[in-house]
Amino acid sequence: MNSKRLLIVVAVLAAAIFVGGLTWSDWSSEASERVKVVMYQNPACGCCSKWAQHMERNGFEVEIHKSPELNRIKEREGITRKTAACHTSFVGGYVVEGHVPARDIKRLLREKPQVHGLTVPGMPAGSPGMEGPRRDRYDVLTFDKEGNTTVYSSY
C-alpha cells in the first residue's frame, strides 16, 4: 500500500472513531462475530421487522419468531405495562423490549450491568423501526424482574 493510500485509510478510520465513537474492540476479531438476537413479535406487526433490519445493519444476526403468545413471554420475563413495547427480544442473556437502538444494546453487552434488560416503552416516533417525519424524545430504560427501572440513555 503506498503512503498516500495509507494516509487516506488512517484518516477515514480516525474520522469514524471521532464521529461514531468506535473503539478498538469494534474492529477486533471478537467484535466482528455477529451476535444473535432472538426476537418475538406479533405476526401482524411491521415495525418489528424494521427494528430487526436496524439491528442487522448494525452487525447483529436476528432470528425472528412470529408468535401469538407474545403476552405470555412478556409476563414470564417480568415486563409490565410500564415497561412494555411491541416486540420482545433476547440477546446475550438479557431481555430487550421494544425499539431499543443497537448502540445501547452494544453498550449493554460491553458493560454487562446487573439488570434483566433494556426497554423503550411504547412505540416512540423516531426510534429504530419507527422512523418517520416526527421524532419524539424517549428514554431507554434498564429494568429488573421486579419492574424497577432506571434511565440508561435518552434520545
pLDDT tens per residue across all 155 residues of the chain: 565 554 444 444 444 444 444 444 444 434 447 899 999 998 888 888 999 999 999 999 999 999 999 999 999 999 999 999 999 999 999 999 999 999 999 999 999 999 999 999 999 999 999 999 999 999 999 999 888 999 999 99
| Beta-strand relationship, 60-66 and 94-98 | unpaired
Q: Is residue 114 part of a domain?
A: yes
The answer to whether the Cα torsion of 38, 116, 88, 151 is positive or negative is negative
Q: Is residue 25 part of a domain?
A: no
Report the C-alpha gap between 22 and 130 in whole angstroms: 25
Asked if 98 contacts 121 with a C-beta cutoff of 8 angstroms, the reply is yes
Cell numbers linked to 31: 467484535
Q: Is residue 42 part of a domain?
A: yes
Domain count, the chain: 1
Q: Is residue 59 part of a domain?
A: yes
pLDDT recorded at residue 154: 98
Report the C-alpha gap between 115 and 141 in whole angstroms: 10
Cell numbers linked to 2: 503506498
Q: Is residue 71 part of a domain?
A: yes
Q: Which helix (H) or strand (E) holds 67?
A: none
Q: Is residue 6 part of a domain?
A: no
Query: Which range of residues forms the domain containing residue 90?
Result: 33-154
Report the C-alpha gap between 56 and 53 in whole angstroms: 5
Q: For 100-151, where are the alpha helices, taking DSSP H only?
A: 102-111
Q: Is residue 98 part of a domain?
A: yes
The CATH number for 141's domain is 3.40.30
Cell numbers linked to 125: 416516533
Q: Is residue 9 part of a domain?
A: no
